[in-house]
Structure 1
Amino acid sequence: MVIHIEKALFSLLFILSYLYGGLAIGMGTQDGSEKWGYIPVRPKAQMFWWYYRSPFRTQDPNNLWPIILWLQGGPGSSGVGFGNFKEIGPLDTFLNPRNSTWLKKADLLFVDNPVGVGYSFVEDETLYVRNDEEAARDLTTLLIAIFNEDESLQKSPLYIMGESYGGKYGVTLALYALKAIQAKQLNLILGGIVLGDTWISPEDYVASWGPLLKDISRLDNNGLKKYNSLVDEIKEQVAYGRFEDAIHILNSLETGLQTDTNNVNFYNFLLDDDSASSTTTTQSQEAPSGDLESLMNGAIRSKLQIIPDNVKWKMQSPPVFKNMRGDFMRPRINEVDELLKKGVDVTIYNGQLDVICATKGTEAWVEKLKWEGLEAFLSIDRTPIYCGDEKVTKGFTKSYKNLHFYWILGAGHMVPEDQPCVAFNMVGNITNSSGPATF
């Protein structure tokens, strides 16, 4: 389905609800295919959301149509911008239809999370969140405002999908949402949680960088020796809960790796990073995109109509990252464990070429899970993945009970962008979607 910017000319204004003394105002297209707006998740803290209704949505009670909530990383990167226009939304950054859009498999809900990211904003600098729990509370408030007012959405299973740091948001949100559902505060079916190249265990990822880069000849023994010394220091700080101190050492480690590898790209080790000074982990876990910034502050801003004049969309929000520094290096393995024990479907996928959240690091933290099914999961052989008519191996997958893992070949940090065919088929399998089998 082609969604044109011109639809904004026929937008309908609707009022959602009063929350915390603030007015939640949104807009939508005349045909109901899109809705967007602001939710005051706390006084003077406004979170922006954008919902796309799939043209393939069915009302079959035996085949529930899924909804995907996409959470971007950073912390401080915009899902409304990056995830939407660069990865899985209906249009690309040139506003051309994306054949591989996940809208063919599910409804899509993008949010600029936490407040202060993208189009979301705060009226007081003390209102930025400081940790994943505070972000989860705000997101739960947003879900309550959106889902409790729409019975059609309540019948659809929601899949929380986090990319990069968005995975830490995702697992924390899933636990908060479950509590709200059980307390009958949130009318929602939780379909599962999906973790794509996610920063769940910073220590394990940092420990994986050197061995990976050495194995692919981007680092030699001299560089690895310097790296190992700094990793030991980071592990010590994390062990004592001194997460901000760990970040200071991480700065030195990243600078050293960029020098010793001649600026390897942290999102795809086959590439050199031509902007190494601005894409390191300690500033953002999403690559910058200048053309996207122009689009979001131009045509998209004009379409949406409700963005305040003083709010300028940026790919990365430095104030959000600054306020979350104390949580950046904190692991969230226990949260994954808790979700598995509660019977929630947990899917993990990882791009082969990623460095920042390398597969080696993901496998390391998965092996730390205390879930009773882990031993059986690890003992299972993988199944190869193909895409299209050619029998070319595109990846591997395996599942045991409610834990699922996808190894995606030829992809870096942003799997849907690098391997759209594999990602499209994968999301269909995860959500049990009745949408088109191919794009």
Structure 2
Amino acid sequence: MESLLLLVFLSLLVVSNSLVHANLSTTAGTDDGSEQWGYVEVRPKAHLFWWLYRSPNRVDDPSNPWPTILWLQGGPVRGSGVGFGNFLELGPLDANLKPRNSTWLIKADLLFVDSPVGTGFSYVDDESLAVRTDEESATDLTTLLKVLYNGNETLQKSPLYIFAESYGGKFAVTLGVSALKAIEAGELKLQLGGVALGDSWISPADFVLTWGPILKDMSRIDDNGLTSSNSLAQKIEQEVAQGKYEDAEGTWRELESVIYDRSNGVDFYNFMLDDGQDPVALTTKESKGLMVDRYSRYFSTNSFSSDNGASSPDLGSVMNGPIKQKLKIIPHNVTWGGQGGIVFSAMVGDFMKPRVEEVDELLAKGINVTIYNGQVDLICSTKGTEAWVEKLKWDGLKTFLNLSRTPLYCGEDETSTKGFVRTYKNFFFYWILGAGHFVPVDQPCVSLQMVGSITRSPNKNSS
């Protein structure tokens, strides 16, 4: 009897320890409570880093709750939301650590996460613990949300909008599906306001098929270049259809090189420019290379213009210098982006896998889904986005496609069209003119207006 009781006690102890271990977290923040950050051990020896900003514009209106935006960066290698999205796109400070006039904090609280593990300040104690699929990343993020939300009534009252950019869109839709299932099962106390996909890598085959025709129409490649690029794009389409995703990734690398060479170095993030000549970039150390590597270099080795026109320092130096010092809880042996190299190699089998079905699932469940795309983006072109949208099985698609678009302007100035929007039921599509891959950087004014519309952000002045 005693041995049986001891066995039961030990079993309960093991279960208790495993539950506690899964929810291990470290939290810190500013004295005034406007910022919080921390780690959640989403799996044993796998640590996700998060950073939450509370908006100074917050309006307490029970009939129209103040929203929270979760930002998921692209990549997937080194796609640090805490670094790139926060300091170079939409956070309260730029990389000079000066205030950003166009911060999305004006419209919502902002939650940045370095995901998947190994990205940014997130880390694993064993490299074998890196995620290999979008679903595994979504499971980790869902675990993090459970830790942050289930014991926090303030967050529970704030609807969460998952915004994403580039490869982050694949993370966003898989997280949306995962979080919704957890909510329905009573495991996650969270209001899912919607999912917003900015220039998102949802259907790789549809995107690569557009690269050659777009560049030919723009006189950036000739007929020979078009023939070569179309041949490789069609090969990718076949490989994806056959589920040969790693083969497709290899062909995709080859296609990027062909596009780059035949166009004399077009900027994959703005097809009107040469690589590295984006207006927000002043210098670049490298240009040619894999898209995920180029994405990292674009942000981490370029100097950017801040709102006041000053150039920004190297982001890595900022993150591993003053930011790491401010946060205090980053382990001594962890450097921002130090494990980035393990992320893409682990996810290579999922990189070219489409996630259109997940978009359909969210729409069918009644979740608001928004797409916004920059006009001159090549890597995730608007033409490619429209192609995969037309493959949706959503029952409102035919009506949506037949509706007229509404023009968008910046503020009260209606002399210059900044974009278009089309909406039907719970589906929204924004065409952002004059923007490349990084919409919040290229068109901050109309982007901020769009965010306010998506999140139904209450107006502080009217309260």
Instruction: State the alpha-carbon separation in 1 of the partners of residues 444 and 460 from structure 2.
Output: 14
Identify the residue that residue 425 of structure 2 maps to in structure 1: 401
Contact 2:288–2:294 under 8 Å retained in 1: no
* Residue of structure 1 aligned with 2:291, choices 241, 257, 281: 281
- Aligned in 2, Cα 1:243/1:254: closer, same or farther, shift over 3 Å? same
The CA deviation string for residues 13-60 of structure 1, in whole angstroms up to 9 with x for no partner, is xxxx97426631110111110000000000000000000011111221
SS at match of 1:288: helix
Identify the residue that residue 10 of structure 1 maps to in structure 2: none
Identify the residue that residue 388 of structure 2 maps to in structure 1: 365
Larger radius of gyration: 2
Identify the residue that residue 360 of structure 2 maps to in structure 1: 337
Structure 1 unaligned regions, length at least 5:
1-16
**Aligned residues: CA RMSD:** 1.6
Q: How much does 1:316 deviate?
A: 8.4
Instruction: State the alpha-carbon separation in 1 of the partners of residues 100 and 61 from structure 2.
Output: 26
Summarize the alignment of residues 98-177 of structure 1 with structure 2, pairs less than 5 Å apart: 98-177=100-179
Identify the residue that residue 73 of structure 2 maps to in structure 1: 72
Q: How much does 1:120 deviate?
A: 0.2
Q: How much does 1:434 deviate?
A: 1.1
Q: How much does 1:277 deviate?
A: 2.1
One-letter amino acid matched to 1:396: F
Q: How much does 1:288 deviate?
A: 3.1
Instruction: State the alpha-carbon separation in 2 of the partners of residues 54 and 19 from structure 1.
Output: 31
Identify the residue that residue 423 of structure 1 maps to in structure 2: 447
Q: How much does 1:435 deviate?
A: 3.7
Instruction: State the alpha-carbon separation in 1 of the partners of residues 389 and 339 from structure 2.
Output: 29
Contact 2:118–2:339 under 8 Å retained in 1: no
Identify the residue that residue 323 of structure 1 maps to in structure 2: 346
Instruction: State the alpha-carbon separation in 2 of the partners of residues 122 and 99 from structure 1.
Output: 35
Contact 2:59–2:460 under 8 Å retained in 1: no
SS at match of 1:270: strand
User: TM-score w.r.t. structure 1 length?
Assistant: 0.93
Contact 2:54–2:110 under 8 Å retained in 1: yes
Contact 1:75–1:285 under 8 Å retained in 2: no
Contact 1:22–1:43 under 8 Å retained in 2: no
- Aligned in 2, Cα 1:58/1:390: closer, same or farther, shift over 3 Å? closer
Identify the residue that residue 378 of structure 1 maps to in structure 2: 401
The CA deviation string for residues 57-107 of structure 1, in whole angstroms up to 9 with x for no partner, is 122111110000000010021000000001110000111111111111000
Instruction: State the alpha-carbon separation in 2 of the partners of residues 308 and 316 from structure 1.
Output: 13
- Aligned in 2, Cα 1:80/1:247: closer, same or farther, shift over 3 Å? same
Instruction: State the alpha-carbon separation in 2 of the partners of residues 284 and 257 from structure 1.
Output: 14
Contact 1:105–1:436 under 8 Å retained in 2: no
Instruction: State the alpha-carbon separation in 2 of the partners of residues 21 and 421 from structure 1.
Output: 41
Contact 2:141–2:175 under 8 Å retained in 1: yes
The CA deviation string for residues 201-249 of structure 1, in whole angstroms up to 9 with x for no partner, is 0000011111111111111111001111111211111111010001111
* Residue of structure 2 aligned with 1:308, choices 313, 319, 331: 331
Which stretch of the first structure deviates more once superposed, 366-375 or 55-64? 55-64
Identify the residue that residue 5 of structure 2 maps to in structure 1: none
Structure 2 unaligned regions, length at least 5:
1-17, 277-285, 302-313
SS at match of 1:404: strand
Contact 1:78–1:111 under 8 Å retained in 2: yes
Contact 2:169–2:198 under 8 Å retained in 1: yes
The CA deviation string for residues 268-327 of structure 1, in whole angstroms up to 9 with x for no partner, is 11221143324x325464533231111001110000001111111129812101100000
Identify the residue that residue 230 of structure 1 maps to in structure 2: 232
Contact 1:38–1:46 under 8 Å retained in 2: yes
Instruction: State the alpha-carbon separation in 1 of the partners of residues 260 and 58 from structure 2.
Output: 46
Contact 2:269–2:436 under 8 Å retained in 1: yes
One-letter amino acid matched to 2:58: R
Identify the residue that residue 279 of structure 2 maps to in structure 1: none
SS at match of 1:430: helix
SS at match of 1:70: strand
Summarize the alignment of residues 52-67 of structure 1 with structure 2, pairs less than 5 Å apart: 52-67=53-68
- Aligned in 2, Cα 1:316/1:281: closer, same or farther, shift over 3 Å? farther
- Aligned in 2, Cα 1:284/1:179: closer, same or farther, shift over 3 Å? farther
Identify the residue that residue 24 of structure 1 maps to in structure 2: 25
The CA deviation string for residues 353-390 of structure 1, in whole angstroms up to 9 with x for no partner, is 10000000000000000100000000001111000343
Identify the residue that residue 298 of structure 1 maps to in structure 2: 321
How many equivalent pairs are there?
421
The share of aligned pairs that are identical, in percent, is 61
Q: How much does 1:191 deviate?
A: 0.2
Identify the residue that residue 46 of structure 1 maps to in structure 2: 47
SS at match of 2:251: helix
SS at match of 1:134: helix
Contact 1:19–1:40 under 8 Å retained in 2: no
User: TM-score w.r.t. structure 2 length?
Assistant: 0.89
